[in-house]
Amino acid sequence: MNRLKETLPPLAVIAALIATWWIAVTATHSLIFPTPWAVVTGTLELLKDGSLWRHIGASLMRVGAGFALAVCVAVPLGLWMGWVRGVYGTLNPIFQILRPISPIAWIPIAILWFGVGDASPIYLIFISSVFPMMVQTTVGVHTIEKRYLRAAENFGVSRYTLFRQVVIPAVLPQVIVGMRIGLGYMIMDSRNAGNRYDLVIAGMIIIGLIGLSLDGAMRLLEGIRWVRWRYAH
pLDDT, residue 116, reads: 73
Question: What H or E segment, with its residue span, contains residue 98?
Answer: helix 85-98
Q: What is the DSSP letter of 189?
A: -
**DSSP conformation class of 117:** S
Per-residue DSSP letter, 144: S
133 in a structural domain: yes
Q: What dihedral do alpha carbons 81, 183, 71, 228 form, nearest 10°?
A: 80
Query: pLDDT per residue over 172-215, tens digit each?
Result: 666 666 665 565 444 444 344 445 566 666 767 776 777 677 66
Mean pLDDT on 162-174: 67
Q: Using one digit for the tens of pLDDT, what is the confidence trace for 42-76?
A: 778 878 877 777 777 777 787 788 888 888 898 88
pLDDT band per the 50, 70, 90 thresholds, residue 219: low
Domain match, 168 and 85 both: yes
Are both 14 and 118 inside the same structural domain? no
Do 17 and 60 share a domain, yes or no?
A: no
| Chain Cα centroid distance, residue 137 | 15
How many domains, the chain?
Answer: 2
CA distances from 88 to 25, 74, 82, 232 (A): 54, 13, 6, 29
Alpha-carbon distance 132 to 206, whole Å?
Answer: 25
